[in-house]
Amino acid sequence: MSQTSIIQDFINRKSFIELDGRARAQSLFDEGTWKELTGPFDRIESPWLPMQGITPQSDDGCIVIKGKIGGSPAVAIAFEGAFQGGSVGEVSGAKMTAALDLATKDSEAGKPTAAILLLETGGVRLQEANLGLAAVAEVISSILALRQHAPVITIVAGTVGCFGGMSLAAGVSSYTIMTREARLGLNGPEVIEQESGIDEFDASDRALIWAIHGGAQRVGMGLADALVEDDANKIAAAVRGYVLAGLPAMHRSQQVDLYRDRIAALDTSKQIDPATLRQQWGTGGGR
Amino acid sequence: MSMHVGLRGRAWFKALAGTDTAEAGDPNSVLATNAPLGKQTALFLCVVPNPKSRFPCVRDGQVGLEEAYALATHIRKAIAEDSDKPKHEKRPIIAVVDVKSQAYGRREETAGIFFAAAAAADAYASARMAGHPVISLVAGQAFSGGFLTHGYQANRILAFDDAGIVIHAMHKEAAAIITRRSVAELEKLGHEIAPMSYDVRDYAKLGLLFKLLHAEDPQNPTAAEITEVKQALAEAIDDARAGKTDLSSHLESDAAKKTRKAGIAARNALEAQWQTA
């Protein structure tokens, strides 16, 4: 590829990360096939935020869109990172669980319906604490139910990343797509620094953060499946590919022995070097 | 508040399962054994502190990588062994829960603790979906990713009703920092807003509990209390066997219908619109 064509590609590229949650979800569907459900005009809001002097949002930061991808029925559920950090509340969690359950119902009735989760989230919304945590448990359960019939595809594109309870949702997905800008982990760097000290994790060390949580690392070590450029067309193509592929032979989160053995083989006397781990796990691993 | 983490879990595991030593091949932080419960045999699981763990950030009773995969291994073994049995004979799985949190460590993040936690939740949920009654007994703390990994996929959840029980998304000090409040303000809000409360009696208002239990000193169960808890577990098992294998029970109690009104409304609205989309 010549330098001019690289520059042209860059100029023509339609960034996915620059889209909000709604536009991201819309961009995945076949043209003219999608419809948003329980959208902002339905005004289904968090009852708990106004009680705490926080302005709610009319979609509670969760966008549900039903339509077709590559001709197949699909539903996309996006958490909007710009609203309350993409946090999971009672209503946003209920929307996601309900959409997954309806996809399962359709799948069981002979109409396999894939789900695409667009996760930009810090995890449980602490203003709704225990209802958020319960919602995460319910989301995980509903993903596992749908996953028996149709693929569940998670996209973590950035820049919020996917942390907290919802990282388990990514963990039980059939496929996970990430960009280099995206991050995926249970605990964010700030939380680790706060809980275990700056010697454990320096949350200002961006190189360290991306070396551990970044998309290239997660895909490289086999805990995510595709590293895609920040390009809406390429991400949509990757999603179509997985919808078409259907279910994997075995889901990654069922492969307990493989990963238990890998953990047993770790030297924990010092911090683990992410690049070495990627080499060790990246080959011959996963499914 | 972290002083007693794991002690109640260990005490109840021993009271119910008759042992409190880890199996060979497991980390010392994971207690797992098949033991009689009434006329049935149940798989009992518990995570306890292991001050000598080779992972420094789990030594106070957090759930880490080894804990998550060990739990998943035991559950998947039970699923496989019972795979030919009819649903009413699949063995109950009892999670005794007393966990401080997930591990907050760099080693854990590097090696993908999010995925280890997912594998454990997958195993618990897969057991439930296969027809195993999965029952959680919250004997102490049940925090955040620790609870998601160990216990929250249960069909039925039981908890003691005393001040030592805390079921929550994040401990008070950290939640206060993140929501930009003082601990005192957070505690005050908890009294007004049930999902934010650290009190198990408020948690009961969310409709997620099958039953609240009482023990005078949950760290030292008496023979009578053990009999009572076994009876309650048996009831929960029967109820789980008679019910669905998903988590729909979360929304069916009167408490849930009241407190989770908004979530139930969102669910109904989505269902109505789904049909016509």
Query: Is A210 touching B (CB cutoff 8 A)?
Result: no
Q: Per residue in A147-169, pLDDT tens?
A: 999 999 999 999 999 999 999 99
In whole angstroms, give the CA distance from residue A56 to residue A58: 7
Nearest CB among A51, A187, A253 relative to B115 is that of A253
**pLDDT at site A283:** 64
Q: Give A-chain residues touching B267 at CB under 8 angstroms.
A: 94-95, 97-98
In whole angstroms, give the CA distance from residue A124 to residue A139: 12
State what percent of residues in chain B have pLDDT above 70.
99
Determine phi and psi for A143, rounding to 5 degrees.
-60, -45
Query: Is the pLDDT assigned to residue B163 strictly greater than 50?
Result: yes
Say if the ipTM goes beyond 0.90: yes
Q: Which residue has the higher pLDDT, B173 or A248?
A: A248
Query: Is the pLDDT assigned to residue A286 strictly greater than 50?
Result: no
**Among B97, B86, B91, B111, CA closest to B48:** B97
A50 CB burial (10 A radius; 0-12, 13-18, 19+): exposed
Q: How do strand B134-143 and strand A226-227 relate by DSSP bridges?
A: unpaired
Query: Is A65 touching B (CB cutoff 8 A)?
Result: no
Q: Quick check: A212 and B110 CB within 8 A?
A: yes
Write out the E strands in B109-237.
134-143, 156-160, 166-168, 211-213
Q: Give A-chain residues touching B193 at CB under 8 angstroms.
A: 48, 51-52, 127
Query: Is B28 touching A (CB cutoff 8 A)?
Result: no
Question: If you average pLDDT over residues A222-237, what whole number do you get?
Answer: 97
Query: Is B116 touching A (CB cutoff 8 A)?
Result: yes
A149 by DSSP, 3-state: which?
A: coil
Q: Per residue in B106-127, pLDDT tens?
A: 999 999 999 999 999 999 999 9
Query: Is B183 touching A (CB cutoff 8 A)?
Result: no
In whole angstroms, give the CA distance from residue B20 to residue B22: 7
In whole angstroms, give the CA distance from residue B193 to residue A32: 43
Q: Quick check: B195 and A131 CB within 8 A?
A: yes
Range of weakest confidence among A46-50, B182-186, B234-238 = B182-186
Closest chain B CA to residue A45? B262
- In angstroms, how far is CA B222 from the centroid of its own chain? 23
The Cα of B262 is separated from the nearest Cα of chain A by a number of Å equal to: 6
* Residue spans per domain, chain B: 2-246, 247-277
**pLDDT at site B187:** 87
**pLDDT at site A259:** 98
In whole angstroms, give the CA distance from residue B70 to residue A45: 40
Q: Per residue in A170-196, pLDDT tens?
A: 999 999 999 999 999 999 999 999 999
**pLDDT at site B10:** 97
In whole angstroms, give the CA distance from residue A87 to residue A249: 32
- In angstroms, how far is CA A17 from the centroid of its own chain? 13
Candidates A131, A139, A196: best to mutate against B (most CBs of B within 10 A) is A131
Range of weakest confidence among A272-286, B104-118, B200-214 = A272-286
Query: Is the pLDDT assigned to residue A38 strictly greater than 70?
Result: yes
In whole angstroms, give the CA distance from residue A266 to residue A201: 19
CATH class of the region B2-246: alpha beta
Q: Which CATH architecture has domain A14-253?
A: Alpha-Beta Complex (3.90)
Structure tokens at B221: 């169960």
Q: Quick check: B70 and A260 CB within 8 A?
A: yes
CB B98 within 8 A of CB B149: no
In whole angstroms, give the CA distance from residue A83 to residue A91: 13
Q: Give B-chain residues touching A218 at CB under 8 angstroms.
A: 112
H helices then E strands: how many in chain B? 11, 7
Determine phi and psi for A25, rounding to 5 degrees.
-65, -45
Cis peptide before A55 (omega within 30 of 0): no
State what percent of residues in chain A have pLDDT above 70.
98
**pLDDT at site A176:** 98
Rounded to the nearest integer, the mean pLDDT of chain B is: 95
